Amino acid sequence: MGYPHKSHPRETPILSKHFGDPDARTLSGWRQRGGYRALEQALGTSPADIVNVVKESGLRGRGGAGFPTGMKWSFMKPGDGKPHYLCCNADESEPGTFKDREIMRWTPHALIEGCAIGAHAIGAETAYIYIRGEFTEPIRVMEEAVRDAYRDGILGKNAMGSGKRVDVHVHRGAGAYICGEETALMNSLEGRRGNPRIKPPFPAVAGLFGQPTTINNVETLTAVPHILTNGAAWYKAMSLSSPKSTGSKLFSVCGNIRKPGNYEITMGFPFKEFLYDLCGGPLPGRKFKAIIPGGSSVPIQTVEEAEATLMDYEGFVAQGTMLGSGGVIVFDDSQCMVKQIARLARFYAHESCAQCTQCREGTAWTTRILERIEHGEGTMEDLDTLLEIGDNMTGKTICVLSDSCATPVASGIKKWRNEFEAHIKQKRCPMRTAVAA
């Protein structure tokens, strides 16, 4: 299957295998497809053994940071006498990213299974799935699946007859990009404003409700049952380039491209073939101009950089950017880069939680300057000011929202400086006039 289009023959559909198949949403349909066998096996396995398998598999966090999952789980001290919690980060809000939405819409039980295994592995009895408030359909689907899993004895005080308690609850957010930051998510879940917390203490020491907590992305947790069923070696073997990047990865593709949608590929796939072969290349009569490969917070690539990239954690870094969340945003030659970068900055200005001065002031100031340049009212000094503000916004705040605003601005000015200068010299957007004429 596949959604919104059939899986391409060069994809590796593991997590996305049942996208578009409504029968896979139901508990009976999921069981027919082999669902919950991995959980049954896991509940009979010691947490330490599960953590080791995940460590060996090389699975890394799919939310953006790429932290090794097994290592993260190993930070949770067994037998410390404290309640442990698992949080599943389903606050998918990074512009360009819409993979977790499809996982939850089409394969809700896959996520429940991953959460239950994760909870068992870190010694937690409770997992919370924090879903962004706008995802009304995924929330409805997940809530129904959780109810069915309880009714069937998969969840609850005697999960699958194992004698172990596993509770999974869906928690709805209420509109705040920042709640995808792990400690902001925990604050929000506790009923607070979603301000990120100062670290340390890290969540594994004092997280949700002040207790040891692990937080994992939807896609990360959904990969875990497959790793337990097929083994660490199977997962590790899925790698076309760097041994540090293993498994399959979902990429969401959007913007000016023929076939937007989700694609699941083996780590290390050539980005050029991905863009032109799988996603169909540019729209008729157009050329690609710029590509953001990992959600709006990563540096923007030129087409030349993108075409030389291998799609894994190391491959994107080698071409000056990051894999991030795997949200690929494509801009073609009809787009004004100044306008696009100004729009990105406006997003961050809107979403800043306003806790840190550098971010609260910096995102708004950056946006004002960029919009001024876009409207032909900028000066050359503005470009220096933007870079200077960006410097003061990077590495100086509680979380990285501030850095995420500065990053596309800095890479944008560096790579499309001629467009910025043209706006300033001609006192108008050269592209807009060209279109009007």
Partner 1 sequence: MSAREEGGLHAPAHASHSSAGHGHPAEHTPVFTGDNRKKLDEILSRYPSKMAALLPALWIAQDEQGWVSEGAMAEIAGLLELTPAYVKGVVTFYTMYHQHPVGRHFIQVCTTSPCGVCGAEDVAKAFLKHTGCGELGVTSPDGKYTVIEVECLGACGFATPIMINDDFIESVTPERVPEILGTLK
End-to-end CA distance of the chain: 46
Nearest to 110 by CA among 129, 92, 95, 94: 129
Q: Please report how close the Cβ of residue 236 comes to partner 1 at its closest, in angstroms.
A: 30
CB of 194 to partner 1, least distance (A): 6
Neighbours of 223 (CB within 10 A): 26
DSSP secondary structure, 190-211, as one string: TTS--PPPPSSSPTTTS-GGGS
Sheet holding 327-332, edge to edge: 261-266, 248-255, 327-332, 288-292, 301-302
What angle in degrees, to the nearest 10, is found between the helix axes of 357-374 and 401-415?
30
- β-partners of residue 213 are 85
User: In the complex with partner 1, which residue's Cβ is closer, 256 or 358?
Assistant: 256
**Residue number with CB closer to partner 1 (193 or 427):** 193
264 in helix, strand or coil? strand
Q: Which is nearer to partner 1, 192 or 427 (CB)?
A: 192
Dist. CA 247–CA 60, nearest whole Å: 9
| Sign of the CA dihedral with 349 first, then 354, 355, and 356 last | positive
- CB-nearer residue toward partner 1: 251 or 420: 251
State the nearest-atom distance from the C-beta of 222 to partner 1, in Å: 17
Q: Which residues of the chain form contacts with partner 1 (CB under 8 A)?
A: 4, 83, 92-98, 101, 132-137, 167, 169, 171-177, 188-194, 209, 252-256, 260-262, 296, 327, 329, 331-332, 335, 340, 343-344, 347, 350-351, 353
Beta bridge partners of 93: none
Cβ at position 211, least distance to partner 1 in Å: 8
Compare residues 83 and 281 and give the one whose CB is closer to partner 1. 83
Quote the least distance from Cβ 136 to partner 1, whole Å.
5
Q: For partner 1, which is the closer residue by CB, 50 or 328?
A: 328
Cα separation, 122 vs 148, whole angstroms: 24
Which residue number, 55 or 82, has a Cβ lying nearer to partner 1? Answer: 82
Give the H/E segment covering residue 168. strand 167-172
User: What Rg, from alpha-carbon coordinates, does the chain have?
Assistant: 22
Query: 250: Cβ–Cβ under 8 A, 6 or more apart, which residues?
Result: 15, 16, 62, 99, 102, 103, 219, 262, 263, 264, 326
